[in-house]
Amino acid sequence: MPVANTKAPARIQIQYPTPTVDGGRYPAKRVVGDVVAVTADVFRDGHEVLRAVVRFRGPGSRGWTEAPLHPLDAHVNGVRWGGEFTVTTQGRWEFTIEAWSDTFATWRDELQRKLGAGQSDLAGELSEGVVMLEQAMARARETGDRDAIESVLEVLGDPAGAPAAALAPDLFTAMERASERTGSTTLERPLALEVDRVGAAFASWYELFPRSWGGLAEVEKQIPAIAELGFDVLYFPPIHPIGESNRKGPNNTLTAAPGDPGSPYAIGSEEGGHDAVHPELGTLEDVRSLCATAREHGMDVALDLALNASPDHPWLKAHPEWFQQRPDGTLKYAENPPKRYQDIYNFNWDTEDWRELWQAWRDVVVHWVETGIKVFRVDNPHTKPFPFWEWLIREVHAVDRDVVFLAEAFTRRAVMRHLAKIGFTQSYTYFTWKNSRGELSEYVSELAHGPEREYFRPNLFINTPDILHAYLQHGGPPAFVSRLVLAGTLSPAYGIYSGYEHFENVPVREGSEEYLDSEKYETRQRALDGPLLPMIRRLNEIRRENPALQRLENVTFLETYNEALIAYVKSVPGNTIVCVANIDPQHAQEGSVVIPAHLGLAPAFAVGDLLTGEHYDWRIGPNYVRLDPAGKQAHVLRVEQQ
């Protein structure tokens, strides 16, 4: 059969480009100011010299900018190529890779080898060179390039001219700019990058219940002190009206006494739904004022987006079809066996009225964005449709690209990954349940160096109102210190729930992760005076002062010769941090932290402990460490004089 193509098929192959997620189906993630490292396999049949560039453009740009790619291995025509470009604005970026055969460089290489071999009959080769130079002259834009090409043309046009003139470096440079891109090939379609603000990746979170602090106006008074502690995000559970029907009492009891406030997750009453503020907390104007004060102190306010409703929510009367009903007409309340939430009803995401339901939620989120909320911690997103989240996040970002979405999804790993792929900015993790050296090093290494590094941004919340791990219950203050250091130095984003600074560690019963007298069901009297706050402040200062701690992919775990000691190094040019933590909260532990030579540090170097101010002499190889719960539980060491 005759060949059907009217255009010759491409001879250059571009394979395995990075960064990419699922072959380009979803965008990789970066933040403003990131240098994006781009790699790909670039090759073709034959021995032609290849050239390649990465072409990129920011949101709203029509034209492309180029940056060179170069072979990454030792061979002059290596298969793996790499280069980089910097993303400077938020939004959806695109990039592609273009590769072509450099006919002049190929010709020049052959000529050089023939001259080196002593061959003298090169008339045919020189005639080819003359044609290429003449064609390039017509394309050359810079005067210097035209002069370089013209001078060599004169030499090659003279029978007595020296062929070696074609090897002149200035000619090579001129021809790189002026030659045609022969056989140019690009990726089938551009790849996407979703670029967020820096706070989307690097932030310290502090969670509190406003009702335990006297309401929104009183919380606003605390913002300067919370900002001074180094927190970037102040996060509230739902602040909406709470239903009366099936209201829970203290410790999740089924009967509430008069005056019991109920769970803030049982959203909705006669006073309003998800777009309203509980009257006992304040008003919408209080929210606006609080958000403005937070911005003045360099902080964001985060609000819990809980897509459930109490039996008293206004939407149950206005849109009963939006809720899950049994055949007998009763509504199905929320369950996560063995947990039961009798005060909460689920939405019916399969309703025929789904478009109106989606739009209603979009309006709720935009309403809070307009009051100043720029961060949403989304409650149980894995129990709602993936297409809904992909649509909602895109819709909200069309209104305000600064908005950050944190997925609270402690579920199957594949589901957590998919939520990140479809648009969630950050994600909760399994960190709370990783407490041994092996578990931590394996899990964090997967996040930092595996495929998830391109799109899954972990937020290492140490505790939540629902999660008080047995390690904290039984470890006492040393356990709180080690987990704080681990969370704050392993991940660019971490968080604590208020009470952590007071070492609160009593469960409702043995074997449970629920707090006794949980703040979810009763009002507590809170104040910013916990004994761990000075260390929290210092840790947040250290995070801000050391760029190495503001990234995840730069972590390398180190040998310690003791399973109770975990050590790792994080480094960027000019800044190297070595962290060591004793994960045994009961006993002193000794070991040797091994610094490998491939880190590029001097054979001997000084380190300063940023937590205590002490200084030590370290070296490549093993370095003795002793950490005692009665004294110091961790080192955060900065390599000095790099």
- Per residue in 29-66, pLDDT (tens digit) is 999 999 999 999 999 999 899 999 999 999 999 999 99
Give the residue-averaged pLDDT of 321-331: 85
What's the pLDDT band for 74 if we cut at 50, 70, 90?
low
Across the range 383-402, mean pLDDT stands at 98
C-alpha span between 535 and 482 (Å, rounded) = 11
Burial of residue 426, with CB atoms counted within 10 A of its CB: 0-12 exposed, 13-18 middle, 19 or more buried: buried
Q: Do 583 and 553 form a contact (C-beta atoms < 8 A)?
A: no
d(C-alpha 170, C-alpha 143), whole Å: 13
Question: What pTM was estimated for this model as a whole?
Answer: 0.95
Condensed to tens digits (0 to 9), the pLDDT of residues 423-456 reads 999 999 999 999 999 999 999 999 999 999 999 9
Q: What average pLDDT does the structure give for the chain?
A: 95
Mean pLDDT computed over 615-636: 97
For residues 471-478, give the mean pLDDT.
Answer: 98
Q: Which residue in 530, 535, 556 sits closest to 633, CA to CA?
A: 535
Question: What is the pairing mode between strands 575-582 and 565-572?
Answer: antiparallel
* Cα–Cα distance for residue pair 351/626, rounded to 1 Å: 61
**Overall average pLDDT of the 372-392 stretch:** 98
Whether 12-102+185-195 shares its CATH topology with 555-639 is answered yes
**What count of other Cβ atoms lies within 10 Å of the Cβ of residue 387?**
12
pLDDT of 221 higher than 70? yes
Segment (H or E) for 607: strand 604-609
Q: Does domain 104-178 have CATH number 3.20.20.70?
A: no
Query: Taking residues 455-474, what's their average pLDDT?
Result: 98
pLDDT at 319 over 70: yes
What CATH number was assigned to the domain covering residues 555-639? 2.60.40.1180
Report the phi/psi class of residue 199: left, alpha or beta, with left for phi > 0 and alpha for psi in -120 to 50: alpha
The answer to whether 582 and 634 are in contact (CB under 8 A) is yes
Residue written as tokens 């190889």?
A: 621
Q: Is the pLDDT of residue 3 over 70?
A: no
Query: Could you give the residue numbers annotated as active site?
Result: 379, 408
What's the confidence (pLDDT) of residue 503? 98
49, two tokens: 């010299």
Cα separation, 437 vs 563, in Å, equals 6
| Residue 533 scores a pLDDT above 90 | yes
- HSE on the CB side for 191, CA within 13 Å? 27
At the topology level, CATH places domain 204-242+276-306+355-546 in: TIM Barrel (3.20.20)
Please report, for residues 187, 346, 352, 560, the alpha-carbon distance to residue 419 in angstroms, rounded to integers and kept in the order given: 27, 20, 24, 36
Q: Which residues contact 114 (CB under 8 A, 6 or more apart)?
A: 122, 125
Task: In whole angstroms, give the CA distance from residue 49 to residue 63.
Answer: 27
Strand runs (DSSP E) across 428-564, as ranges? 459-461, 493-497, 555-558
Average confidence (pLDDT) over 450-467: 98
**Whole-number pLDDT of residue 642:** 60
The radius of gyration of the chain from alpha carbons, rounded to an integer in Å, stands at 31
Question: CA–CA separation, 488 vs 135, rounded Å?
Answer: 60
CATH class of domain segment(s) 12-102+185-195: mainly beta
Higher-confidence position of 331 and 511: 511
Distance of alpha carbon 329 from alpha carbon 343, whole angstroms: 17
CA–centroid distance for 461 within its chain: 15
Phi and psi at residue 469, to the nearest 5°: -70, 155
Helix H, strand E, coil C: the string for 348-407 is CCCCCCHHHHHHHHHHHHHHHHHHCCCEEEEECHHHCCHHHHHHHHHHHHHHCCCCEEEE
Structural contact between residues 498 and 526, judged by C-beta atoms closer than 8 angstroms: yes
Residue for token pair 């140019």:
184
Asked whether the predicted pLDDT for residue 157 surpasses 90, the reply is no
pLDDT at site 325: 84
State the pLDDT confidence band at 331, using cuts at 50, 70 and 90: confident
Whether residue 604 contacts residue 574, with contact meaning beta carbons closer than 8 Å, is answered with no
The DSSP secondary-structure symbol of 277 reads -
* Residue ranges covered by each domain of the chain: 12-102+185-195, 104-178, 204-242+276-306+355-546, 243-275+308-346, 555-639
Q: What pLDDT digit, counting tens, does each position of 549-565 carry?
A: 999 999 999 999 999 99
